[in-house]
Structure 1
């Protein structure tokens, strides 16, 4: 065990949640000062949420294979970049970038930057309360609102974790993934295969240019996508036709007050997030708001602390 901490192995974390413990220890081995943050983030999770956290951790360890130490270093690098954006946000009251062209020039077109950034965000799914809570909401709230044997469409599937959870637990008949980048889809395909999921369909597809004869899906998922767009409401209006009428559902996960190197669209309140659905032809059936480190929502909003907004809706 590293000598950096008060020994996380003495916690229930080490025995009952070994994969979560392994990821936490890898990060603390190169960043001991992060222990207080991790402990506070984990302390706010009940047993059910910890089971989801452990599921995520197991998937992450499969994905990173023998690169955990390097991924942990990239997680620290990513947090440093996020801290820079937070300082700007709290000083200026806005996100630093506002156009896709800016994000592309600074982030997306820089392969080395993107590798570190995506690696860091992968570990955040386990270590950040709001990210783990969003996945837990997805897993626990959606099944009762879905028709059995339905079809899934995820837009911007990233690491593939949300799609993997849906394929494991939702009894789906088919799954499709859309992205603007063939490279990103290749990475998602490889991740899902490593996690044991085969038979998904992948397509390079711009949401604003979907063929009219494209069949609607029973579940459409956009997790941490809309904040990267200049005009997310125009995308939501286009997506209305991709959700099956009456029985179809859409799951949206967007951050509030969450400055990041490639975030463009700033939402300051839960109502700002809800407006993405309320103003574009959807009725919200269930929502949940989860702040960094489990901070109370009112306090998080008052202090402009990042909040993940999760919403399940149907087309109307």
Structure 2
């Protein structure tokens, strides 16, 4: 059966060579995953497949020569996530609730973090909901800039969004913040590998503790960060003070998404809106994307992971 699913998947990805290369390297390690991937890729629109191909092109530069390692780490990460899902659906809450717990179990364990971060990179193009929010960033956030902008990203990870923001001819300056100096070194190395030549200021800072910077930004991105914080409301209020009066913020936060280092649970889109608007923003767009493109109503009812993409402006 996996051979049949693999053939269907390859046919679906004809004309998407970068994506197909990543998929083939993964299936060489985990052929049984073809059925899941087919469900993830089949519902994607042309725009989503284009975004997938863009992400795959960048990811292939980052994993070059280590394809089997990244594939194995992706499978390992999926196993860790499955364990968290079992706990979540049994107990009704995330297993961890404090940063100290996440730091002890995940962030301070360098071997664990290495595998986990590798696995998460591949989710950016293999998981439907992750690609959908990335496509939203590429096609609904960046193109709507109507004048030169200063860009800030909080928690840049592998730097994919920083890299694509830099491609905008209107992007004037780029800055990225992270609480971890180690993470920022990895971001810098990734951006170098991707071939980014535009300067990026990488700043070690904790937005829950620091003072507001002297400058403000026209476009702020905080993607898959709020669920890692004990006080996401404090973080968003801080960013409200960092944005220009006519600026925009793009927030990507998951609902009902148990992971080894997720500590703040959001369950409904109404909770997301309340969190964002309570911090002084006005939501202009809220788009929901469930894993494997499941119906949103069903996903919310059954507490299946949903990504919420939010575009907002200062209120």
TM score, norm. by length of structure 2? 0.95
1:93 maps onto 2:104 in alignment: no
| Alpha-carbon shift at residue 10 of structure 1 (Å) | 5.0
1:14-39 Cα deviation digits (max 9, x unpaired): x3111111111122122122111100
1:151 touches 1:219 (CA, 8 Å); kept in 2?
Answer: yes
2:177 touches 2:202 (CA, 8 Å); kept in 1?
Answer: yes
- The Cα RMSD (Å) is 1.6
Q: Unaligned 5+ residue runs, structure 1?
A: none
Where does residue 206 of structure 2 map in the other structure? 206
CA distance in 2, matches of 1:161, 1:310: 17
Q: CA distance change for structure 1 residues 31 and 145 in 2, over 3 Å: closer, same or farther?
A: same
1:267 maps onto 2:266 in alignment: yes
1:156 touches 1:177 (CA, 8 Å); kept in 2?
Answer: yes
| Alpha-carbon shift at residue 12 of structure 1 (Å) | 4.0
| Alpha-carbon shift at residue 213 of structure 1 (Å) | 4.9
Task: Give the match's secondary structure for 2:252.
Answer: strand
Where does residue 81 of structure 2 map in the other structure? 82
Q: CA distance change for structure 1 residues 7 and 287 in 2, over 3 Å: closer, same or farther?
A: same
1:141-170 Cα deviation digits (max 9, x unpaired): 113543421100101100111111211236
2:156 touches 2:176 (CA, 8 Å); kept in 1?
Answer: yes
Q: Unaligned 5+ residue runs, structure 2?
A: none
| Alpha-carbon shift at residue 212 of structure 1 (Å) | 4.5
1:288 touches 1:310 (CA, 8 Å); kept in 2?
Answer: yes
Task: Give the match's secondary structure for 1:176.
Answer: strand
Task: Give the match's secondary structure for 1:173.
Answer: strand
The alignment of Structure 1 onto Structure 2 pairs a total of residues equal to: 313
CA distance in 1, matches of 2:80, 2:88: 13
1:8 touches 1:21 (CA, 8 Å); kept in 2?
Answer: no
Where does residue 115 of structure 1 map in the other structure? 114
2:84 touches 2:259 (CA, 8 Å); kept in 1?
Answer: yes
1:41-75 Cα deviation digits (max 9, x unpaired): 00010111101100000000001111011100000
TM score, norm. by length of structure 1? 0.95
1:8-157 → structure 2 map (5 Å cutoff): 11-13=11-13, 15-157=14-156
CA distance in 1, matches of 2:187, 2:280: 30
Where does residue 225 of structure 2 map in the other structure? 225
